[in-house]
Structure 1
Amino acid sequence: MSAINSFESHKIAFFSTQPYDRTFFNKYNKEFKFNLDFYETQLNPQTVVLIENASIVCVFVNDIVNEQVIKQLGEKNIKIIALRCAGFNNVDLEAAKKYGIKVCRVPAYSPQAVAEHAMAMILTLNRKTHKAYNRVREQNFALNGLLGFDLFGKTIGIIGTGNIGKAFAKIALGFGCKVLAYDIVTNNEMIKDGVSFVGLEEIFNSSDIISLHCPLNDQTKHVINTTSISFMKENVMIINTSRGGLIETSSVIDGLKEGKIGYLGIDVYEQEEKLFFRDLSEDIIQDDNIQRLMSFPNVLVTAHQAFFTNEALTQIALVTFNNIKSLLEENDIENKAALLV
């Protein structure tokens, strides 16, 4: 691709950036020649003032892009809000329409990255490799407390069969699991592979492991709650690599305390914007729920790293830049799933 000089006049303000964001976006910007500004801070009503002479903002999962923020973006002549992620529940799309701002996203960067992390969490919780690693480093070679189970033959229930859910299903089938799936639309290709599409209650009733791969919206918020947990098998394993709001945290804590939930693996958390992507090792964390979750020996928490592979970050950068390029040149994006407004 040849560089397009006109893009040098377009400044992109990036929020919630980490060193790896700078590395990958700077690397692939050589093809586009945009003017890039990086801010470590979250985009919110107080930080909008940082934007100077930009026409585009690039945001991530925990940036606040509500009507108050979007109104200020409009006043600053921002033309495009580019999400460098798939989820968009943090963006008020109606407000964006109202103020004439285009919104685009990266609908698929590396489904395999998130799907593989979900399986890694299952294997870690089951075989307790994280505990074994620490134990052996302390010269403790005993096996007591490390008992797991054969994944082969177990029933895995998948809620949400988009690109990530579909990739995860293939992995689960490869382990010899029986795979059940729930989505508002059935996938014939997955059915041919051996996946059974069932109702949501059947997922809860029959699954040894439940993995969440659906977007967060009014219908899916707190899909894991006191009622749904009551339908589940004893000692069920719940994995969430999608959005924190899919799980009602207080209900899951109760389920863990009662022994109903045998294992919990979360890469996302409902209040993660106050915690994740930061080094808080010297701080007193005020969030009692996350502290309680981390106190359980059968809970594994990772800090929104499921997407974090070289392949995924490469695609995120390239797709984000190409989305912006298409909107600037044609006011449209060929991949309709990428254009939200």
Structure 2
Amino acid sequence: MEILAFGVQADEKPLIEQAFAGRHDVHCLDVFLTEDTAPIAADHEIVSSSVNADLNAEVLRILAAGGTRMIAQRSTGFNNIDLDVARELGLTVARVSYYSPYSVAEFAWTLAMAVNRRIVRAANRTRDFDFRLDGLMGRDFRGRTAGVLGTGKIGEAFTRIAHGFGMELLGWDVAENPACRELGMTYVDRDTLLAQSDLISLHVPLLPSTHHLIDAAALAHVKHDAVLVNSSRGGLIDTDALVGALRTGRLAGVGLDVYEAEAGLFFLDKSLEVVEDDTLARLVTFPNVVVTSHQAYYTRDAVAQIIDATVRNVDDYLAGRRSENVLVPDAQA
């Protein structure tokens, strides 16, 4: 069986090929799965997609018409897949329900520290042999308050690091995490968390109920000198509202590894092109904003776990087995 894998990064390719060796042939493509590239999958029963694939209704119909019967997505999030249409077409869709939460939690802290201590500005200065400290003053996180929106596996890992820094802990979630409680976390409503936190980090999935969780009204509650970090999903933040808040001087800094309109931009080299996204273009001009391209998960440990889970998903499909990773048909069916 030949599997067609879309959106494979150069660092991932040897890991994917090694994982499938002796099981199935795998053909890795660096292009993402979209309406334009979906016809490439013709005559491939199994395709593997990346987090930035656009598996809308039309893409799924093209895949199904070409003979695809199984989609193995190499990510936890699946808001990019029209699951209802996949179900109608009889496609099996599986994801990776778990990989190292430390990869994302540690990167969220990397962003927080880079923003707070002005690391990017300092590094750019020293490249020009400018060793002044003007404008580089940060704050101790110890003794201040960390607000964690979403206290699942990644949120818990972020909380443990915050506890190690000696921070006060506030949490918001639909269900409390006993492990976070044991660390001293107090659960409060969203607006209270935003109003009292010096560092705010987002670790919730993107759902209709969480879309633009941080909007203009929410930002109005945030401290003027707070640091906001998002390493989860771009759609959690209303970016236009965020730009508006930054223009008024609200927020000491922002660290973003995700962006709500990142599809078609992130993971690609746009350095020689004119980027037409005015919101993103304005966002990256703020000196207290650090934007990275959805790389929080990108450690050898996490990627290896993602690939191993993808291999198991393919094996399960071929053997007619179900697991917690199967989204369509429903895992409990």
Range of TM-score over shorter length: over 0.9
Q: How far is 1:46 from its partner?
A: 2.3
Letter in 2 for 1:213: H
1:210 to 200, 216, 219: 200
Residue matched to 1:169: 159
Within a 5 Å distance, the mapping from 1:101-120 to structure 2 comes to 101-120=91-110
Confirm whether residue 230 of structure 1 aligns to residue 217 of structure 2: no
Q: Structure 2 length normalisation: TM-score?
A: 0.95
Residue matched to 2:317: 327
Letter in 1 for 2:11: Y
Where structure 1 has 5 or more consecutive residues not aligned to the other structure, the ranges are 1-9
What are the Cα deviations for residues 96-130 of structure 1, in whole angstroms up to 9, with x where unaligned? Answer: 11111111111221110110000011111111122
Letter in 2 for 1:122: A
Report the secondary structure of 2:284's partner residue. helix
Q: Distance in 2 between matches of 1:200 and 1:211?
A: 12
2:133 to 143, 146, 160: 143
Confirm whether residue 122 of structure 1 aligns to residue 109 of structure 2: no
Where structure 2 has 5 or more consecutive residues not aligned to the other structure, the ranges are 329-333
1:76 to 66, 78, 81: 66
1:14 to 5, 8, 24: 5
Q: Distance in 1 between matches of 2:165 and 2:96?
A: 29
Q: How far is 1:286 from its partner?
A: 1.2
Q: Which has the higher helix share?
A: 1
Q: Which runs of 4+ in 1 moved over 3 A?
A: none
Confirm whether residue 244 of structure 1 aligns to residue 231 of structure 2: no
**CA RMSD, aligned part only?**
1.3
Q: How far is 1:45 from its partner?
A: 2.0
Report the secondary structure of 2:109's partner residue. helix
1:55 to 40, 45, 58: 45
Report the secondary structure of 2:115's partner residue. helix
Q: Structure 1 length normalisation: TM-score?
A: 0.93
Letter in 2 for 1:327: Y
Q: Which stretch has the larger CA shift, 127-136 or 197-206?
A: 127-136
Letter in 1 for 2:13: R
Report the secondary structure of 2:171's partner residue. strand
Q: Distance in 2 between matches of 1:140 and 1:277?
A: 31
Residue matched to 2:187: 197
Report the secondary structure of 2:194's partner residue. helix
Q: Distance in 1 between matches of 2:38 and 2:127?
A: 47
Residue matched to 2:277: 287
Q: Distance in 1 between matches of 2:318 and 2:189?
A: 43
Residue matched to 1:46: 36
1:253 to 226, 232, 243: 243
Q: How far is 1:262 from its partner?
A: 2.0
1:264 to 254, 257, 280: 254
